[in-house]
Amino acid sequence: MNTNIEFNKNEDALKLKVSDLKQRLAKIHLGGGPKNIAKHKEKGKLTARERLDLLFDKDAPRFEMGEFCGYDMYEEYGGCPGGGVVVMIGYVCGRQCIVVANDATVKAGAWFPITGKKNLRAQEISMENKLPIIYLVDSAGVFLPMQDEIFPDKEHFGRIFRNNAVMSSMGITQISAIMGPCVAGGAYLPIMSDESLIVEGTGSVFLAGPFLVKAAIGETVDQETLGGASTHCEISGVTDYKMKDDTECIKTIRTLFDKMGKKERAGFDRVEAKLPLLDPKEIYGIMPDSAVKPYDMHEIIKRIVDDSEFTPYKDDYGKTIICGYARIDGWAVGIVANQRNIIKTKKGEMQLGGVIYSDSADKATRFILNCNQKRIPLVFMQDVTGFMVGSKSEQGGIIKDGAKLVNAVGNSVVPKFTIICGNSYGAGNYAMCGKAYDPRLIVAWPNAKIAVMGGEQAAKTLVQIQVSSLKAKGEEITPEDEKVILDNIKAKYEKTTTPEYAAARLWVDAIIDPADTRKVISMGIEAANHNPEFRAFNPGVIQT
């Protein structure tokens, strides 16, 4: 065990962040809170998380995405914990799938704008990986006060049903359980699924509820007669299975899943998994407590990969990016990772850690091309402050070399997975497979920072602009005034760089404990292995 004082200091700092993360998640998992949970259960219904516990195989791994979705948002409406929906990748009867469960304790499961984004992300994961999807529906429909931000646009509510149709044509299994209200346009989701179940007494599905029917055509009708289980299983034929309660409904879904045939796989290489020789929990002590202190990324990698075995590619060239091959939980992977150590080149030059230089970009580009050629999934480990700037770099063609790297990442056809271990700044975010570059999963550690540039640099830039503007108006600015402006700008800017801020807006799929990194990558590659279809790899025009 490492007893170094710096190691212990780092360990305490990161463990504190992980502990804080778990405390926040415990609160988020309560959804609408104890009172709303009690009201929900009085109706004879299980909560979304109880339903998921019954549905998934016991003791099998799970990955929940979007837990921080909506965090610190919509406060004027009382908030929207988890975006009002729970999304998990897990196993049902040994088959990996993704499940979307409305949390009816949060505003009756109504759809906020971020709810729509989270649902679409779940469907995107299903489509990219050809992963079966289960919908546990319990929602009052669109949150009317914000209907203009969820209803009409391309990536809004209607895109869900468009995706239902496309996913069906792709042969992706979709099963829906109507376990509460399912209203208006939302009624199409379960009925556009392959099979639908409905729970007696609590489940209902209709295009217009009793009040709207009365207002529209003057008919007085109760909810059960209009769209309950008996109506749709015995008269309309809209739904396929009538269930007496939530428990029977979940059991029946498992029975349906148990009968599914196996389909062709992508064929990513996997052997028997081995644990790392070095303890993954030592990552806590290796990762510095400051975003600017150096450390050796090799030591992080050794605590994530099988047997702590890593085969570096061009190890003595382009040292601010580490590339190489390894296995994670048995899966073959290519790793592209930023190196935050300060590097001394053979020419005696010092290269700043976490910065991408021309040689590093060139190396990473070639490595990514190789992994595509050999069908090896890519894992990006981000701790990057951007590309090197200055006259020497510009004259050396840093833009050209950076463009080559961005091109290779953008056109890559093998599955990509991104772990934001520390900084994720500027164009470095793009080159290291940020959200815009279609990683199958993108997650952040609790110490991550995501922004166009660091808080200190950004704040000083913004202060210069603001002070110049005030002076142009004839105002006198003292050094003390300038410091107040700097502190205010820095505080506001840095709030927008936190992993919680990013996760609330689904810029990352989750904030994870670093010790869970292996599990997330392994489950992600297993999901990707469901989709055997590859387009031809063509990086297009690359400047040399």
Mean pLDDT is lowest, of 25-34, 148-157, 462-471, 532-541, for 462-471
| Residue bearing tokens 């529906």 | 137
- Buried b / exposed e across 499-521, counting CB within 10 Å, b at 16+? bbbbbbbbbbbbbbbbbbbbbbb
Residue 228 to residue 223: CA distance in whole angstroms: 7
Q: What is the pTM of this model?
A: 0.93
pLDDT at 298: 97
pLDDT in tens, 390-419: 888 888 889 999 999 999 999 999 999 999
Residue 495 to residue 502: CA distance in whole angstroms: 10
Query: Residue 428 pLDDT > 80, yes or no?
Result: yes
Residue 480 to residue 487: CA distance in whole angstroms: 11
CA 482 to chain centroid: 39
pLDDT at 540: 80
Mean pLDDT of 431-446: 98
Q: What is the mean pLDDT of the chain?
A: 93
* Most confident segment among 28-42, 179-193, 451-465: 28-42
pLDDT at 485: 80
The Cα-based distances of 302 to 96, 222, 269, 422 in angstroms read 28, 63, 20, 17
The more confident residue out of 302 and 351 is: 302
Mean pLDDT of 239-267: 96
Query: Residue 306 pLDDT > 90, yes or no?
Result: yes
Question: What are the structure tokens assigned to 456, written together?
Answer: 């200190």
Burial class, 470, CB count within 10 angstroms (exposed 0-12 / middle 13-18 / buried 19+): middle
Percent of the chain with pLDDT over 90: 78
- Buried b / exposed e across 375-407, counting CB within 10 Å, b at 16+? bbbbbbbbbbbbbbeeeebeeebbeebbbbbbb
pLDDT at 246: 98
Percent of the chain with pLDDT over 70: 99
Amino acid at 379: V
Mean pLDDT is lowest, of 23-32, 392-401, 507-516, 522-531, for 392-401
Amino acid at 61: P
Mean pLDDT is lowest, of 17-31, 173-187, 421-435, for 173-187
pLDDT at 1: 47
pLDDT at 11: 97
Burial class, 144, CB count within 10 angstroms (exposed 0-12 / middle 13-18 / buried 19+): exposed
Query: Residue 51 pLDDT > 50, yes or no?
Result: yes
Question: What are the structure tokens assigned to 505, written together?
Answer: 């807006």
pLDDT in tens, 447-458: 999 998 777 777
**Using CA of residue 452, residue 456, residue 457, residue 458, what is the dihedral sign?**
positive
Mean pLDDT of 432-455: 94
pLDDT in tens, 4-26: 899 999 999 999 999 999 999 99
Question: What are the structure tokens assigned to 190, written together?
Answer: 């379960």
Residue 165 to residue 368: CA distance in whole angstroms: 34
